[in-house]
Amino acid sequence: MNRRLLFQRKPFQWLYPRLLKCVLLFIFLGGLTLLAQASPSAGQVTKNIIIRGHVTDSSGQPLQGVNVTVSGSTLGTATDANGNYTISIPDGYTGRTLTFSYTGFVSQQIAIGGKTVINASMKTAGNVLGDVVVVGYGTQRKISLTGAVNQVTAKDIEKQPVTNVLQALQGESPNLIIQQTSFVPGGGVNLNIRGLGTLGDNTPLVVIDGIIGGDINLLNPNDIASVSILKDAGSAAIYGSRSANGVILITTKSGKLNQKPTVSYNGTYGIQHAYVPLKKVSAWENAYYKNESLVNSGLPPVYTPEDIQRLQAQGNGDWERQNILHDAPQQSHNITVSGGSPASAYLISAGYQEQASNLVGNGGSGSNFGYRKYNFRLNQTSIIGRFKLNTILSYVKSQNKNHSNADWVIFADADRVPLNYSFQDSLGRYLTNPVAAQYNVKSVLEKGGYNQTDNDQVFGNLNGELKITKDLKLTGVFGGTLNSNTDDFRRMMVNNYPSGVYGDDRSVFDNSFKTMFLNSQLYAEYNKSISAHNFKVLIGGSNESYTSKGFQLQKTLTDPALGTPTTGTIVDPNNSYNTISATTETSINSVFGRLSYSYNNRYFLEGDFREDGSSKFAKSKRWGFFPSIAGSWVLSEESFLKPLQNVFNVLKLRSSYGVLGNQNVNAYQYQTSYFNYPNAYAFNNTTVGGAGYTLGNPDLTWEKAATFNAGLDASFLNNKLSLSLDYFNKTTSDILYSRQDVPAIFGAGFPDYNVAKVNNKGWEVSASYLLRTGAVTQTFSFNVADNKNKLLALTYGSNEQIFNADVFSFIRRVGEPITQYYGYKTNGFFQNSQDVATYPKPAGVSVAPGDLKFVDQNNDGVIDEKDKVILGNPFPRYTFGFTYRLAVKGFDLQLFIQGVGKRDAFLRGEEVEPFHYNYGATMYENQTDFWTPTHPDAKYPRLAAIGSSSNTNNWRMGSDIYKFNAAYARLKNINVGYTLPVSVSERVGIQRLRVSVIAQNLLTLSKLNFIDPETSEFNNNLYLGSSSNSARSYPLPIFYGAGLEITFN
C-alpha cells in the first residue's frame, strides 16, 4: 500500500484529456447546429418583407422562445436567446397581425401595418410560470424548467422581521425543511431539502451569487432578490459532487440599467417576549409531592406538616426561568441606493440588525447579551461593448455576546430548584441553596463573565461575460470569501451567599480562526435557435480551494478584577494550540456542462454533468462523474388538448433522473495518521507528551445518490389557480459511515467507510389561488410535503446499531427510517396486587400498584432486552406552510402559518421526571397527572423515591413514557401594512411610504405544550451520538413590532 504523499508538479495533467473531450464535444455540437442552420432555405415567395423585433417581459428582460406567428397563416418563428426574432412574410400580408404567444404570458396581437420593426412587451398571466428562475450557471423561465426547482422571492422574505434568512425561509417551500432547534439569538438551525438521504451531512450546498459555499447565516435578509431551491438531479447535477442534498441558490439584489436613482429605507423595531409555558408547582405542593414519593417507597417523609404549612404561608420564591428572562428589543434598519445608466447599474445597501437576548444580564461588563450584524453590499454592473462586468463586494460583521456557561446549564439550574428559593435576598446577594449549592444562574448571567464572538466576512465576486458572437458567450468568474472570526471568553468569579463560588478558575481565552475560500470558473455558453428548435450548450471548468487556520490561547487563574495574568496564572496547555495544529486545506477541480434542447416551447430535454476531483480522497478514488437527464412536455400546447384550454391554461409534465454526489466528510480521512499531544502522562511530577493515532481508509470516496423525479405544473381557471406536484425517489449508496460491524475488542475507532445505503422518497404539493374581487386582491398559497427515508444497508455485516442516549435509546436498523427511538412500550399501570403478582416485570425489579407495565413482546414472562421495540420517529413529517395575502387599496395583510404534521419527540430530565435523579428537586404542573389509587387512569405512574425499585422501573427503563407528540402549527408571522397613496406621498417627494405592524410566533398549537415543540436533540443527520433532549433550551421569542418602508427618487 503506497500512501506516500506525492507532490505533483503538473496539477493539470489530469485535466487535459478531459478538457479535450469537452472541446471536441463542443465543436461537434456547434457544427451540428451550424449544419442545421444551413439547411432550411428561405421561402420561395417572390417578394418578401423582413420584419424584425425584440420581445421582453414587463421588466425589460429579453424573452427567449416566444412564438411569433402571422394570423391566418402557418408562418411563424420564435425569439432567440436575446429576445430577437426575424420573420419573412409575403408583401401581401402587411395588413395582417403578428401574434406573440408564450406559455405563462398573456398573448399579444400587433398589427403589422407596414412596419418592419415590431417590438413587444409581454405580461405574465397571473401565475409564476413566466417568472425567471435562477438555476445553476444561468437562468430559465419557469415554463422551460425540466427539473424540480422552487423559487422564493424577496416579497416572501422581506416582510418577516428576522435576523437570519433561514428563519424567513421556513415553511416557504415544500420540503425545504428548516428546524430551529434553539431560539437563542444567532443560534443555528437544521436545514435540509427533502429530508434525509444520508447518514452523513444532509446540509444542502449553498451558492450565493454563483459562488459555491457561502454562509447563508451572514446574509442580510433584505439583500436577497431570490432563493432557488434545486431539489432533483435534473437541476442539481451541474453541481456534481456536492449536490446530493440539493442546492440553494441565492441571488442578491442588483441595480437595473436605465433606472433613475432611488434611495429606500426599510426597518422594523419590536420587542421579543420569551414564551415560557413550563410552570413549577408551588413550593408547598412540591414538598407535599416529595413526601408522597418517599412514603410510597417506604422511606420517611422529609417535610413535617408544619414545614408544609410554613411553605404555604410564606409563598413562592422567584427561582424560576421567567425571572432570568426579560423582554428584549429586536430591530433592523436597511438603506438601499440603486440606479443605472444605459451602460452601468449599481446597488449599494447597508443594514444593521440586532436581536438582543431574552436572558438578563451582561456577564458583568459591556453590552447586554445578544446578536448584532452589520451588512454592507455593493453590486455594480458595467457594459463595455460586448463585455459585461458584474462586481459584487460585501462586508459583514456579526457579533454575538453570550454568557460564560452553556444555555442548558443555565436553564437546568433555573429548573431544578423548587420555588421555596429565590435568586437574591433583599440585600441583592446571590443566594445558593441545598439544591443549587455551588452557584446561582442569575449571578452567572449578571456577573459571571461572557463569551463574545466577532466575525468579519469579506465576499468579492468578479463576473465577466464576453459575447464572442451573437450566439456564443464566455463567462469568467473569480470570487472568494475571507472570514476572520474571533472568540473572546472570560469567566469571572462570583461569590454567592451563604456559600458557593462560580468561576474560580477565572479562565480567559482567545480563539481566532480565518478561512479563505477561492473559486475560479470559466465557462462558455452557445445558444442557437433554428425556427422552432432551440439548442443550448454550456461547458466549463472550475477550481475551489479552501484553507482554514486558527489558534487559541487559554489562561486560568487570572487577576479576578482584570482577567490579566498575575501571580499563579497558568497557560492551560490542553486548551491552547497554534496554527500548525489547526490548519485544514481542501481543494476541488471540476469540469461541468449542460446540453439543452427544446422544440416549439413544447418539448424540453436537458442533460447535465459534472466531473469533480476532490482532495478529500486518495488519488485513485478522487474523481467522480455525475450526470443527469431531464425532460418536460407542455401538454397544454398540444392540439389534442386545445379543446380543454378553458380548463387547463397550462399543463406540464416533467421528469428527471441523475446521479449526484456528496463529499461532506472531514479532510484527510483517507490517511492513517499519528499525532502528538501534551500532558498525556507524567513521570517524576513532570508531564510528558503522548502520541495517538487515527486510522485511515484509503478507499474512501463519494457518496452517490441516484435520484428520480416526476412533476406536474398546472394552471387553471384563467390562471388563477396554480398547482405543482412532485414525486421523488432517491437512493444514496456508498454512504460514508463508520463501521458498526466490528466489536470493541478491535480496540480502536474507525474512519468513515463507503458502506451505508439509504432510500428516501416523498412528494410535494404547492398550490396558490388568486382571487380578485373589485378592489380586493387575495392570494392563498399552500404547500405541504412529506418524505420517508429507509435505511437499506448500515455497515458491512451489521444491520443494526443501538445507541444509549441516557435513559432511552436511538436505533438505526436496516429496513426502517434512519434513526428512531427505541425501548420498551408501556402498557398502562399495575392496578392491583394481583396484577403485580402475575404481569411480567423486568428482572430484579419489585413494583407496586401505580407503577408502569411494559409490553412483553415475546410473551416469555419477563421484561428484558428482547422486548424493546421501535417507539417513534424524530424526523418531521408533513411539513407545511400557508400564506394568505390580502390587499385592499392601500392596506395589505400577510399572514403566515407553518408547521409539522407528524413528529415524535422524546424528552427527559427534570421537566419530565418528577424529582429527576435527585439532581432536580422539582415537579412541574405538567407532571401532576400521576397515578394514585383514586386516580387509576393517569398519564404518569405514581410518585416514587429516586433510586427505589419503582423509580427504576418507571423512569430508568427507557420506555415510551418519555414520548411526546411534537406536531405543531405556528402562526409565524402577521404583517399588516398601509401604503400612502402615491399622489399624497409624492407631494413630499416620496415615491412610496408604507407603515406596518408585525407580530411573530404569536400562537403555536401543539399537544406538546410545556416546551416549544420544535426543539430537537438532533442535528440534520439524526446523529446517533446526539445527547437526549432535556428541553433545557432557550425559549421561543414572541415578537411584536412595527415597520417602516420609504422610497425616494
Partner 1 sequence: MKFPNKLILAAFALMVIAGCKKLDLAPTDRFTELNFWTSSENVNNALNNIYSGMYTSNKYFYHEALSDNAYTAQGSSTGNVDVIASGSFTSALPKFEGDWAFYYSGIKSCNLFLANVDQNKTLPADVLTRMKAEVRFIRAWHHFNLMKWWGDVPLLDHDITPDEAKVIPRTPRATVLKFITDELEAAAAVLPSKDQYSSADNGRITNAAALALEARVLLYEGNRMQDVAAICEKIMNNPGKYGEYGLAPNYGDLFSDPTVNKTNSESILSLQYVPNLRTWSEDFDFAPRSAGARTNNLAPTQELVDDYVMTNGKPITDPTSGYDINNPYSNRDPRLTATIVYDRYVWKNPNGTTQIIYIKPGSDPDRAALNEYSPNGQGSATGYYWRKYFDPNASAGFASGLNLHLIRYAEVLLMYAEAKNSLGQMDASVWDKTIKPIRARAGFTDPAALDYPGNSDMTNIIRRERRAEFAMEGLRIDDIRRWKIAEVVLNGYAHGARFGDPSVDNGYIRVQKRQFDPSKNYLWPIPAAELQLDSKLTQNPGY
Q: CA 985, 990, 994, 995: dihedral to nearest 10 degrees?
A: -90
* Residue 891 near residue 977, CB atoms below 8 Å: yes
Q: Return the number of the residue (452 or 614) whose C-beta is nearest partner 1.
A: 614
Between vectors from CA 611 to CA 735 and to CA 389, what angle results, nearest 5°? 125
Within 857-896, the residues that bind partner 1 by CB under 8 A are 864-865
Pick one of 691, 775, 837, 988: the residue that binds partner 1 (CB under 8 A).
691
Q: How far is the CB of 797 from partner 1 (least distance, A)?
A: 7
Q: Is 951 in the site for partner 1 (CB under 8 A)?
A: no
Pick one of 38, 42, 117, 744: the residue that binds partner 1 (CB under 8 A).
744
Q: How far is the CB of 1019 from partner 1 (least distance, A)?
A: 22
Q: Is 681 in the site for partner 1 (CB under 8 A)?
A: yes
Q: Return the number of the residue (163 or 952) whose C-beta is nearest partner 1.
A: 952
Within 928-947, the residues that bind partner 1 by CB under 8 A are 946-947
Residue 976: strand, helix, or coil: strand
Pick one of 342, 385, 428, 1025: the residue that binds partner 1 (CB under 8 A).
385
Q: How far is the CB of 820 from partner 1 (least distance, A)?
A: 17
The torsion angles phi and psi of 916, rounded to 5 degrees, stand at -35, 110
Pick one of 372, 704, 903, 956: the residue that binds partner 1 (CB under 8 A).
956
User: How long, in residues, is the chain?
Assistant: 1049
| Binding span for partner 1 by CB under 8 A among 237-245, 668-676, 754-762, 770-778 | 668-676
Query: What is the CA 840 to chain-centroid distance, rounded?
Result: 46
Within 239-298, the residues that bind partner 1 by CB under 8 A are 290, 294
Per-residue contact track with partner 1, 445 to 484, x per CB under 8 A? -----------------x-x-x-x-----x-x-x------
Q: Is 949 in the site for partner 1 (CB under 8 A)?
A: yes
First and final C-alpha spacing in the chain: 70
Residue with cell 405580461: 123
Pick one of 97, 341, 486, 798: the residue that binds partner 1 (CB under 8 A).
798
Q: How far is the CB of 784 from partner 1 (least distance, A)?
A: 39
Within 121-140, the residues that bind partner 1 by CB under 8 A are none
479 burial level (CB within 10 Å; 0-12, 13-18, 19+): buried
Q: How far is the CB of 619 from partner 1 (least distance, A)?
A: 7
Q: Return the number of the residue (290 or 885) whose C-beta is nearest partner 1.
A: 290
Q: Count how many Cα atoms sit within 13 Å of the Cα of residue 100 in the half-sphere of its side chain.
A: 29
* Residue 234 near residue 656, CB atoms below 8 Å: yes
Q: How far is the CB of 242 from partner 1 (least distance, A)?
A: 15
Q: How far is the CB of 511 from partner 1 (least distance, A)?
A: 17
Pick one of 551, 597, 668, 708: the residue that binds partner 1 (CB under 8 A).
668
| Binding span for partner 1 by CB under 8 A among 196-204, 206-214, 611-619, 641-649 | 611-619
| Binding span for partner 1 by CB under 8 A among 55-63, 189-197, 738-746, 851-859 | 738-746
Q: Is 113 in the site for partner 1 (CB under 8 A)?
A: no
Q: Is 541 in the site for partner 1 (CB under 8 A)?
A: yes
Pick one of 741, 816, 835, 925: the residue that binds partner 1 (CB under 8 A).
741
Pick one of 342, 674, 937, 1025: the residue that binds partner 1 (CB under 8 A).
674
Query: What is the CA 965 to chain-centroid distance, rounded?
Result: 23
**Rounded to an integer, what distance in angstroms lies between the CA atom of residue 707 and that of residue 656?**
8
| Binding span for partner 1 by CB under 8 A among 187-195, 600-608, 632-640, 688-696 | 688-696
Within 502-521, the residues that bind partner 1 by CB under 8 A are 504-506, 518-521
Pick one of 116, 309, 581, 834: the residue that binds partner 1 (CB under 8 A).
581
With a CB cutoff of 8 Å and minimum separation 6, the contacts of 106 are 122, 123, 124, 125
**Rounded to an integer, what distance in angstroms lies between the CA atom of residue 77 and that of residue 88?**
9
Q: Is 569 in the site for partner 1 (CB under 8 A)?
A: no
Q: Residue count at the site for partner 1 (CB under 8 A)?
A: 121
Pick one of 797, 815, 989, 1025: the residue that binds partner 1 (CB under 8 A).
797
Residue with cell 423512569: 955
Pick one of 17, 743, 774, 815: the residue that binds partner 1 (CB under 8 A).
743
Please give the biggest Cα pair distance in the chain. 116
**Which residues are 704's β-sheet partners?**
661, 733
Residue with cell 487577576: 559
Q: Count how many Cα atoms sit within 13 Å of the Cα of residue 931 in the half-sphere of its side chain.
A: 22
Q: How far is the CB of 952 from partner 1 (least distance, A)?
A: 6
Query: What is the CA 879 to chain-centroid distance, rounded?
Result: 14
For residue 102, the one-letter residue type is: Y
Q: Return the number of the residue (546 or 875) whose C-beta is nearest partner 1.
A: 546
Q: Are strands 808-813 and 862-863 parallel, antiparallel or unpaired?
A: unpaired
Helix extents (H) in 47-194 = 154-157, 165-169
**Rounded to an integer, what distance in angstroms lies between the CA atom of residue 1037 and that of residue 270?**
11
Within 389-408, the residues that bind partner 1 by CB under 8 A are 389
**Rounded to an integer, what distance in angstroms lies between the CA atom of residue 538 and that of residue 139?**
12
With a CB cutoff of 8 Å and minimum separation 6, the contacts of 637 are 103, 600, 601, 602
Q: Is 545 in the site for partner 1 (CB under 8 A)?
A: yes
Helix, strand, coil % over all residues of the chain, rounded to 5? 15, 50, 35
Pick one of 28, 746, 891, 978: the residue that binds partner 1 (CB under 8 A).
746
Q: How far is the CB of 791 from partner 1 (least distance, A)?
A: 17
**Rounded to an integer, what distance in angstroms lies between the CA atom of residue 867 and that of residue 839?**
14
Q: Is 804 in the site for partner 1 (CB under 8 A)?
A: yes
Q: Return the number of the residue (604 or 626) whose C-beta is nearest partner 1.
A: 626
| Closest C-alpha among 593, 477, 469 to residue 22 | 593
Q: Is 427 in the site for partner 1 (CB under 8 A)?
A: no
Inter-residue long-range contacts of 677-681, CB under 8 Å, 24+ positions, other chains counted = 678/573, 678/574, 679/573, 679/574
Q: Return the number of the residue (172 or 867) whose C-beta is nearest partner 1.
A: 867
| Binding span for partner 1 by CB under 8 A among 232-240, 707-715, 734-742, 831-839 | 734-742
C-alpha distance from residue 1009 to each of 184, 233, 966, 969, 1030 (Å)? 19, 40, 9, 12, 15
**Rounded to an integer, what distance in angstroms lies between the CA atom of residue 677 and that of residue 683?**
16
Q: Is 748 in the site for partner 1 (CB under 8 A)?
A: yes
Beta strands in 138-285 (DSSP E): 138-141, 149-153, 176-179, 190-193, 205-208, 211-212, 224-230, 247-252, 259-275
Within 297-326, the residues that bind partner 1 by CB under 8 A are 299-300, 302
Within 335-374, the residues that bind partner 1 by CB under 8 A are none
Within 11-50, the residues that bind partner 1 by CB under 8 A are 11-12
Q: Is 917 in the site for partner 1 (CB under 8 A)?
A: yes
Q: Is 625 in the site for partner 1 (CB under 8 A)?
A: no
Q: Is 495 in the site for partner 1 (CB under 8 A)?
A: no
Q: Is 751 in the site for partner 1 (CB under 8 A)?
A: no
Per-residue contact track with partner 1, 168 to 207, x per CB under 8 A? ----------------------------------------
